[in-house]
């Protein structure tokens, strides 16, 4: 755990430069706009340890799977969002000495991510080897108003010398991915142009032929007056640069405004990319940096108006929740149904930037409550449009009759995860896809989605589960063999309780929705039955039999739901009894030792209880929470939020708060020693869930919204806003009272502490807590 980020309500602040922390900071201070993103690499040369990262949404590379053996059905590649053009580069040379924080002395270093207005600020004083001091301030952002543009304002001022400064802005497509198999490079130059103060490069990816144009234009200002310099052009393979020399007197200032445009063939015709890129740059220069910055602040103000969570009395908690919300908005805007949310977003290479089940299980509720419902709908449509690939994935593993197995990792619907125990065994992911449909319809009331798209997905998933189980004569029950549950510290187990539960629920829900669509939209139902050859009588009978006779392992002595058969055969040790030197297990223990232990990476049984809480009484929830929380090491970023929510529901305020802080500050404090690889974007939605569903006790039951709020002792108050169907509500909780404000024009009845409350339009109701 690190503790170098200064606590501040609206800013992420680093004071002082420690090269050993640089990769972590590069992740934390990343910027993005849903279309592209950039790690917090330095503009100027840096020869120290760094992970260069610039990413373009939807552009990826099928890196060949590297294994020493092969199995039928094994994916042929691992998809990854590849490092794109370095567009931020501005090399600075002072009287022949390069500005490089790895070789210069550095003082007064400060880096600030302004979350309220959406920009990154950095300032420092560097001293070269010959004693020259240069003050630098840089400010940059990826525009969410013009989402194909980035802008940089880079300020220089000599403090103790007068001399010549060489300024060299550049675009570099000759980049690599640190995690590339076989050291491959992914880009091939197609064309380029450089002249005067700017230029552009169009490059294509190998194999999949994505085209991306990256361009720049620069404006120099000396003492805030534009200077007309003679720029020289440099071009190499996949690289363009313009440079100019300018003499600065001691105390004078030089301001470099660099505008960059990144456009891709995902959104434009390939032959038009250079033209689009140039036009975007002309637009940026015409607006100017200050105008673009004001537009950025205004756009972020609107986002915060919809989704901010305010916490009074606990700056650490406030900073944590806003950081998580900020990164979620930077990663996904919901305007393009072809895009999804990678576990690292635009902050790093790990997990390939691909789509996991995290989106449906954790992220969807955030977007349901903080954005127009089409944003969440687009997340569902992403999966619907990949249904054919999911059916193809299942067929590769021997399933038929239109059974669908959604991939664990994907870019285009094909499975591309390169670990066999995940690819073949962690099939519970299918359940998250179905649960997302349920969650969406329950929250929005958009029942048309089921008839138009959802039912087809649900039937295909139910067909998979019905083929994946087998009947055990010994148990007289249906069983599920050879799986991996959400707890990935177990592989190839039999009857993982969560997997059995979600499989059974999927078949039951598919039957319910089939009946619903048949009753309410017989025409669409009839067309779908013919299209997918759904044998209503026979398949329904099979699914019903499985649902009624599924095996669920339970310890008869304690009543504990067993994570899987044989779990109690393990030596039962609690995390509190482990010497801290053993943690984190995934960095200290062998895989064999982890698999033989009772320790749990993330919520597994508790994931099922969280999803289907209404099926369990409070005593069952409490008994299993106490048992599994004691054995969970939370070495997955997805784990603490589920524990926080369940602890809140059980009235365990301190445990709920402890788990909230862990999820809220997971990256800021580098809990698991892995933030240098990128931030845990999808789990950040869990921070929001911890506040709204945990502390706020928000649920939707039979179409009605309910709240059962409490407030941590460490806080004076907290408030959040949610969209629910046609209503916008603000909930404010203090140590003494709860206020629910209806900001809409129509009346709404909710449940508050299990009592009905009628919210009049534009009115606030208050109850004492």
Residues marked active site are found at 488
Name the H helices within 240-372.
Answer: 273-287, 289-307, 315-331, 358, 364-370
Residues 443, 365: Cα–Cα separation, whole Å: 9
Chain CA centroid to CA 359, Å: 8
Question: Residue 728: phi, psi to the nearest 5?
Answer: -120, 120
Strands (E), 31-118: 31-32, 36-38, 54-56, 60-64, 77-81, 90-94, 97-98, 105-114
Is 480 exposed, middle or buried (CB count within 10 Å of its CB: 0-12, 13-18, 19+)?
Answer: buried
- Token readout for 764 is 């606030």
Residues 229, 247: Cα–Cα separation, whole Å: 11
Residues 566, 187: Cα–Cα separation, whole Å: 50
Residues 454, 444: Cα–Cα separation, whole Å: 14
Residues 396, 457: Cα–Cα separation, whole Å: 18
| 282, 283, 288, 289 alpha-carbon torsion, rounded to 10° | -100
The bridge status of strand 11-15 relative to strand 5-6 is antiparallel
Q: Can you give the length of the chain in residues?
A: 769
Residues 51, 22: Cα–Cα separation, whole Å: 9
Residues 240, 195: Cα–Cα separation, whole Å: 9
- Token readout for 330 is 């930077």
Q: Which helix (H) or strand (E) holds 260?
A: strand 254-264
Question: Residue 421: phi, psi to the nearest 5?
Answer: -70, -20
Residues 401, 395: Cα–Cα separation, whole Å: 9
Q: Residues 493, 564: contact at Cβ < 8 Å?
A: yes
Closest by CA to 454, choosing from 569, 356, 377, 541, is 377
Closest by CA to 645, choosing from 671, 665, 621, is 621
Residues in Cβ contact with 227 at an 8 Å cutoff, skipping those fewer than 6 apart: 220, 221, 246
- Token readout for 574 is 């609690």
Is 568 exposed, middle or buried (CB count within 10 Å of its CB: 0-12, 13-18, 19+)?
Answer: middle
Q: Residues 370, 321: contact at Cβ < 8 Å?
A: no
């Amino acid at each position: 755990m690190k503790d170098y980020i200064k606590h501040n309500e609206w800013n992420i602040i680093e004071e002082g430069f420690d090269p050993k922390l640089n990769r972590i900071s590069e992740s934390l201070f990343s910027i993005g706009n849903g279309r592209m993103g950039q790690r917090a690499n330095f503009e100027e040369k840096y020869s120290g340890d760094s992970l260069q990262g610039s990413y373009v949404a939807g552009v990826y590379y099928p890196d060949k799977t590297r294994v020493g053996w092969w199995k039928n059905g094994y994916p042929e590649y691992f998809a990854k969002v590849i490092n794109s053009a370095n567009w931020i580069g501005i090399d600075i040379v002072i009287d022949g000495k390069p500005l490089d924080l790895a070789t210069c002395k550095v003082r007064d270093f400060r880096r600030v991510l302004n979350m309220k207005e959406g920009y990154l600020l950095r300032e420092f004083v560097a001293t070269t080897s010959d004693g020259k001091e240069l003050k630098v301030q840089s400010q940059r952002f990826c525009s969410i108003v013009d989402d194909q543009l980035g802008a940089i304002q880079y300020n220089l001022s000599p403090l103790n010398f007068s001399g010549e400064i060489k300024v060299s802005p550049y675009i570099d497509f000759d980049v690599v991915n640190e995690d590339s198999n076989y050291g491959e490079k992914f880009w091939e130059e197609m064309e380029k142009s450089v002249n005067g103060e700017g230029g552009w490069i169009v490059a294509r990816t190998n194999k999949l032929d994505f085209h991306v144009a990256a361009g720049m234009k620069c404006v120099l200002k000396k003492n805030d007056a534009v200077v007309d310099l003679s720029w020289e052009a440099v071009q190499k393979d996949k690289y363009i640069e313009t440079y100019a020399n300018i003499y600065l007197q001691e105390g004078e200032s030089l301001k470099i405004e660099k505008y960059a445009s990144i456009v891709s063939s995902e959104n434009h015709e390939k032959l038009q990319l250079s033209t689009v890129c140039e036009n975007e740059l002309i637009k940026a220069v015409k607006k100017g940096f200050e105008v673009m910055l004001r537009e950025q602040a205004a756009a972020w103000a609107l986002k915060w108006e919809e989704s901010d969570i305010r916490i009074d009395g606990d700056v650490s908690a406030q900073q944590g929740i806003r950081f998580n919300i900020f990164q979620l908005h930077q990663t996904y805007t919901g305007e393009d149904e072809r895009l999804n949310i990678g576990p690292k977003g635009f902050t790093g290479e790990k997990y390939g930037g691909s789509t996991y089940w995290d989106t449906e299980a954790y992220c969807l509720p955030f977007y349901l409550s903080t954005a127009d419902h089409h944003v969440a709908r687009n997340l569902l449509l992403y999966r619907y449009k990949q249904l054919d690939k999911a059916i193809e994935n299942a067929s590769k593993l021997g399933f038929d009759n239109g059974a669908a197995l959604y991939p664990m990792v994907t870019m285009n619907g094909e499975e591309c995860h390169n670990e066999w125990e995940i690819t073949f065994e962690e099939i519970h992911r299918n359940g998250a896809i179905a649960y997302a449909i349920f969650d969406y319809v329950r929250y929005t009331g958009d029942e048309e989605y089921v008839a138009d798209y959802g039912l087809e997905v649900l039937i295909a998933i139910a067909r998979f589960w019905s083929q994946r189980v087998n009947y055990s004569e010994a148990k007289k029950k249906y069983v599920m063999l050879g799986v991996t549950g959400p707890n990935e510290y177990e592989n190839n187990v039999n009857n993982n309780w969560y997997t059995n539960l979600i499989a059974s629920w999927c078949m039951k829900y598919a039957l319910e929705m089939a009946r619903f669509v048949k009753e309410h939209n017989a025409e669409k139902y009839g067309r779908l039955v013919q299209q997918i050859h759904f044998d209503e009588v026979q398949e329904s009978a099979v699914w019903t039999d499985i649902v009624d006779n599924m095996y669920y392992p339970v310890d008869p002595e304690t009543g504990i739901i067993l994570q899987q058969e044989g779990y109690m055969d393990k030596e039962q040790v609690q995390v509190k009894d482990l010497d801290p030197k053993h943690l984190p297990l995934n960095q200290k223990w062998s895989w064999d030792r982890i698999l033989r232990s009772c320790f749990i990476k993330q919520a597994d049984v508790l994931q099922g209880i969280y999803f289907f809480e209404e099926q369990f009484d409070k005593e069952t929830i409490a008994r299993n929470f106490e048992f599994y929380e004691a054995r969970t090491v939370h070495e997955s970023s997805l784990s603490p939020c589920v524990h926080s929510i369940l602890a809140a529901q059980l009235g365990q305020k301190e445990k709920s708060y402890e788990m909230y802080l862990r999820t809220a500050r997971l990256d800021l404090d580098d809990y698991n020693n892995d933030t240098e690889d990128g931030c845990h974007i999808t789990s950040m939605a869990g921070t929001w869930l911890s506040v709204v569903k945990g502390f706020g006790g928000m649920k939707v039951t039979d179409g009605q919204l309910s709240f059962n709020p409490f407030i941590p002792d460490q806080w004076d108050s907290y408030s959040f806003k949610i969209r629910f169907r046609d209503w916008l509500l603000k909930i404010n909780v203090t140590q003494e009272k709860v206020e629910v404000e209806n900001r809409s024009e129509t009346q709404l009845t909710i449940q508050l502490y299990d009592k009905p409350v009628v919210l009049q339009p534009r009115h606030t109701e208050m109850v004492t807590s």
